[in-house]
Structure 1
Amino acid sequence: MAIMEILQVNQLSFAYPDEPHQVLSDIHFTVHAGDFVVLCGASGCGKTTLLSQLKPELTPVGQIGGTIYYNGNMLNELPAHQSAQEIGMVFQNPDNSIVMDVVWHELSFGMENLGYSLPVMRSRLAEIAQFFGLEPLLYKPIHELSGGQKQLLNLASVLLLQPKLLLLDEPTSQLDPVAAREFISMVYRLNREFSTTVIISEHRLEEVIPLADQMILLEKGKLKYSGSPREVSEQIQRHDPDDFKYLPSVTQLFWTMHNKQITEKVPVLSTLSAVPFTVREGKQWLQTLDWDRSLADTVAPLADSAPLTTSFAKEQILLECREVTFQYEKKSDEVLKKLDLQIVQGEMLAILGGNGAGKSTLLQLLAGLLQPRRGTIKKANKLNIGYLAQNPLLYFSHDTVAEELSTAAQHAGIAEPELAIAKLMKQLQLEGLEQKHPHDISGGQQQKTALAIVLLLNPDILLLDEPTKGLDPLAKIALAQQLLELRQAGHTIVIVTHDVEFAASYSSRCAMLFDGMITTTDIPSIFFSENVFYTTAVNRVVRDWLPGVLTAEEVLDVWRVPASG
């Protein structure tokens, strides 16, 4: 018996008012009831616009072509009450969806608006609170919740209406690795245990692609690939290996080794099931290879590695925290507690930690936007500090991207502003957005525009709060190249990030912020390979063989196979 189609999208196109180009063009795919679908593609490719077309209340004004069927009926003819209940949506920023001040008020809000009876509301609220473990939080003010708790609250609020289709637009972009994994696991559990159909737009592809029944990759508003993850990986392998970055790193490693014929022992693909997507599958695949175990000795054995010294020459230190303590109000808990940290000329320091650990607070203290309650922050003379906050909208006050950048260049006193702006637009892949309003571009494009504004000020030290938030894999590589060029030119960079893969690939030193203090600082190969959760997927796969290796590129650099015969 055929599985029922819950969604059928036929030749969908969309253009915003007064825009000459279509944001979506000839999109077509089918989603069956109970599917878990991953939607991916470059920033600005149309993912958010596509999701908004699937939720009638959120469909933007514009020119629409094609048809969308929901359970066999035209989606645009679906009664508003039914649409509100059966199609739920969770957004990227949890604060944009929350309207009440206390947790249980927020949970009740949707049901009250749809006129549910009090007994039904109580029954559903009790059930969902137990399922999500929200009972201890029910009477808490929402502003006291962590980012992960707020996003779980958003998900629970949507699920109280018992939707058949759940749409999620980059829901983990502001969550730490542990909270993100828990959130995705919860969504997957809903999908598998209750057959809730899920369509999730996400840049944490390591976590979601192995769970997916279907993967849809958009490029410039058009459908490029669709199918099961293994089918899409094979299509990418045949047609465009540049798109490997949209696959889990263990899958990238497999195909790269296979293509370069690094080993004659890579099994011949008899079926697509041979392609690894998870850590477990990756380890099983590596066990089939014949490789030189002495390689492990060439990659800085961790047990004998001397810890990175935390003492630097005085002239190298640009910023130094000495026993810094901070709390927002006198009677509130201390966010930072006697924190010590040195930031050294020319390094790229990545600061990691859980949601609510105080990472953003620390960055604002380093930028001089906040002052410590106790302790001192010393900075080098004439140090020009550039600061990029998590919310890029804070940097916009003009009607076009071009005006924003021109104003920043004028403020910085740049001699040839047009050349400087054009160079940044190209490096950050912002070309073509000059006349767009900053609020009308994608989240990833907003992030890059705000970064361009800060870079035009030519700071000696650059403080970046979640700079990869909202960026696709290829945009992250472009950002990394920009940051590496800045380091080579003598700039110093500090990033607060949840993006373990980015930090492992590009930082020169990593620090863990926990319980208000910096508990660990070390080079990435030691910092990550001693962790279980805060480490890369590749390290989890290869650490038994190559314990200090973090990325697929590093595996390829050190891998050797004994000569045959």
Structure 2
Amino acid sequence: MDMEILKVDRLSFRYPEEDRATLDELSFTVKEGEFVVLCGPSGGGKTTLLRHLKRELAPVGTMDGSILYRGLPLAELAPETAAAEIGMVFQNPEAQIVMDTVWHELAFSMENLGLPPAVMRSRLAEICGLFGLEPLLYKPVHELSGGQKQLLNLASVLLLQPRVLLLDEPTSQLDPVAAREFIQLLHRLNEELSMTVIISEHRLEEVFPLADQVLLLSRGALQAAGGPREIVGRLGAGQAPAQLAYLPAASRLFLGLAPQAAAPPPGASPLTVREGKAWLRGLPAAGAGPAAAPHSAATAQPGAAARAGEAALLRCRELTFRYAKDGAEVLKKLTLSLYPGELLAIMGGNGAGKSTLLQLMAGLAKPQRGKVELGRDIHTGYLAQNPLLYFSQDTVAAELAQMAEYAGLSGEEAQREIARLLDIFQLQAVIDNHPHDISGGQQQQTALAMVLLLKPDILLLDEPTKGLDPEAKERFASTLQLLREQGVSIVLVTHDVEFAAEYASRCALLFDGAITAEGSPGDFFGSNYFYTTAVNRMVREWLPQVLTVKEAIQQWPDSGSRS
């Protein structure tokens, strides 16, 4: 019989001066060695729950119920045991790093536990080999990309050899390939070391099939719990669009195309691309689908040439940039243009220079060679990857009021604009909260609302969907579309392939310091092997340029009979 490593019984929690409980009578158990996935809307209580499981990070407020770790109350564990055996990787990598260089950061936690130098050196060598951190070992942490910082945080936690690993949206700042490798590393730790993993995620394509148990939280309550296929069956029977969005693409496509989708039999739903493709091959209409059109590298690059005669709002001309005089070039003669009304999505690997390019566009840094040209009377608004950089007040309301004053809005206009943005981002419930006490997704939305109060002509967004749940992403996409209709052009740096595929008008790939491919989403993603959506990988044999579940359901042969 598997031992329960965690038991949560009727756990409730309310932050000070809050009317609504953030956690509402949660009860569940986690067996040793299980892989548990937490999912649900932003602000639903996932981060608060994880912080309760990591005793040192438990938030201040009123708590009821109990948490047992290996049969003992969590509060009664020895400090050394609690620190070493339960590790946590935060949602915001900046919040976890305390030292100046990578190797100092890796050694910090072991020094605090008083481990002998020989043990520290041995563990350090092992973890650096596993994570490929040797080239970064003596690098200042401020020079690391967001994804590299997240890998550093995971390595730092694993050096203490924990029994339970808690992760709060750890892949939100990783590119698709790195995210897949990160999740597979967690799977290896779970399988080979029997490490218990509890992970909160909005990007569920990779983690959902690995789960032993899925917990769906909404408004602090447990809406559903069970194995992944059991969850698909239950949510499929309910057909609630808001909840279906938390399922993998293969499961959503199955529920959209299968005649019996109203009540899928247990174990019938595919969870992975391989299972989804195998199921599609069994459909009668699969043989009647259009043949896959051949793709070449050239098909990914029509975007700029097609608009060459049009005046650009912003033009980057042969930008070259390095952080140190004798450092490596981050950007190498990069050329890129933004045209009126566009939503340009820039993608690329961690450390490729995407955030650096956005800072050059915003005028926050200057290239050593080349120049950024802005149209006359064109103003930019910049949203950095870390929303905490924007907060200096005690409440969300005060942050927005201060930014409205900075933007020069009159009292009545400021109230009207703030009310409109609060409605768009659904932030009314947290208007009186401290910005540091709300969820990562809500922090992202608050910072974006502050930037929008400046009414920029060009919006420069660095990972804006990080921490957003599927519903919030749809509202965010509607906001971007509304801004485009009002004449705002948008540059979006993102690792969110699905979001870029569905909403961008043009996509570009940054590699080796330059733009190596650009084009419409269909051309761009349809010609990629890894850098594409899960749906495209499933259906490209029949529908090579289809990128989303909605498109696949609409265009699948004989899909009309299932609609």
For 2:282, the equivalent position in structure 1 comes to 288
Deviation at residue 506 of structure 1 after TM alignment: 0.3
Segment drifting more, 45-54 vs 146-155: 146-155
For 2:365, the equivalent position in structure 1 comes to 370
Secondary structure at the counterpart of residue 381 of structure 1: coil
For 2:314, the equivalent position in structure 1 comes to 319
Deviation at residue 97 of structure 1 after TM alignment: 1.7
For 1:78, the equivalent position in structure 2 comes to 77
Q: Does 1:380 align with 2:381?
A: no
User: Unaligned 5+ residue runs, structure 1?
Assistant: none
Secondary structure at the counterpart of residue 480 of structure 1: helix
1:57 is aligned with what amino acid? E
Taking structure 1 as reference, are residues 87 and 558 closer, same or farther at Cα in structure 2, changes over 3 Å only? Answer: same
Deviations 1:492-539 (A, max 9, x none): 111010111100010000001111111111000010111112110001
Q: How does 1:6-45 map to 2 (within 5 A)?
A: 6-45=5-44
User: Unaligned 5+ residue runs, structure 2?
Assistant: none
Distance (Å, rounded) in 2 between the aligned partners of 1:385 and 1:562: 44
CA RMSD of superposed structures (Å): 2.2
1:320 is aligned with what amino acid? R
Secondary structure at the counterpart of residue 22 of structure 1: coil
The answer as to whether partners of 1:301 and 1:548 remain within 8 angstroms in 2 is: no
For 2:462, the equivalent position in structure 1 comes to 465
For 2:112, the equivalent position in structure 1 comes to 113
Question: Of the candidates 551, 554, 559, which is equivalent to residue 556 of structure 2?
Answer: 559
Q: How does 1:44-83 map to 2 (within 5 A)?
A: 44-83=43-82
Question: Of the candidates 256, 268, 271, which is equivalent to residue 274 of structure 1?
Answer: 268
Taking structure 1 as reference, are residues 562 and 249 closer, same or farther at Cα in structure 2, changes over 3 Å only? Answer: closer
For 1:413, the equivalent position in structure 2 comes to 409
Taking structure 1 as reference, are residues 309 and 11 closer, same or farther at Cα in structure 2, changes over 3 Å only? Answer: closer
The answer as to whether partners of 2:255 and 2:261 remain within 8 angstroms in 1 is: no
2:549 is aligned with what amino acid? A
For 2:387, the equivalent position in structure 1 comes to 392
Q: How does 1:129-148 map to 2 (within 5 A)?
A: 129-148=128-147
Identity %: 59
Deviation at residue 240 of structure 1 after TM alignment: 4.7
Secondary structure at the counterpart of residue 174 of structure 1: coil
Deviations 1:229-266 (A, max 9, x none): 111111212235221110111111111223xx4xxxx7
Question: Of the candidates 352, 357, 363, which is equivalent to residue 347 of structure 2?
Answer: 352
Q: Does 1:493 align with 2:493?
A: no
For 1:154, the equivalent position in structure 2 comes to 153
Question: Of the candidates 439, 442, 450, which is equivalent to residue 442 of structure 1?
Answer: 439
Superposition TM-score, scaled by structure 2 size: 0.94
Deviation at residue 199 of structure 1 after TM alignment: 0.2
2:42 is aligned with what amino acid? S
Deviations 1:439-473 (A, max 9, x none): 22111101101111111222221111111011111
Secondary structure at the counterpart of residue 173 of structure 2: coil
Distance (Å, rounded) in 1 between the aligned partners of 2:16 and 2:428: 21
Segment drifting more, 15-24 vs 123-132: 123-132
The answer as to whether partners of 1:295 and 1:546 remain within 8 angstroms in 2 is: yes
Distance (Å, rounded) in 2 between the aligned partners of 1:111 and 1:390: 29
For 2:251, the equivalent position in structure 1 comes to 251
Deviation at residue 268 of structure 1 after TM alignment: 10
Distance (Å, rounded) in 1 between the aligned partners of 2:196 and 2:21: 28
Taking structure 1 as reference, are residues 268 and 64 closer, same or farther at Cα in structure 2, changes over 3 Å only? Answer: closer
For 2:216, the equivalent position in structure 1 comes to 217
2:479 is aligned with what amino acid? Q
Taking structure 1 as reference, are residues 524 and 562 closer, same or farther at Cα in structure 2, changes over 3 Å only? Answer: closer
Segment drifting more, 234-243 vs 4-13: 234-243
Question: Of the candidates 327, 334, 346, which is equivalent to residue 329 of structure 2?
Answer: 334
The answer as to whether partners of 2:148 and 2:350 remain within 8 angstroms in 1 is: no
Deviation at residue 181 of structure 1 after TM alignment: 1.3
Distance (Å, rounded) in 1 between the aligned partners of 2:445 and 2:300: 38
User: Number of paired residues?
Assistant: 556
Deviation at residue 150 of structure 1 after TM alignment: 2.8
Distance (Å, rounded) in 2 between the aligned partners of 1:310 and 1:295: 32
Deviations 1:245-297 (A, max 9, x none): 10111111111223xx4xxxx79977422201100000110011011655426
Distance (Å, rounded) in 2 between the aligned partners of 1:256 and 1:41: 21
Deviations 1:298-356 (A, max 9, x none): x9874696952423265541011111112223222221111111100001100001111
Deviation at residue 20 of structure 1 after TM alignment: 2.5
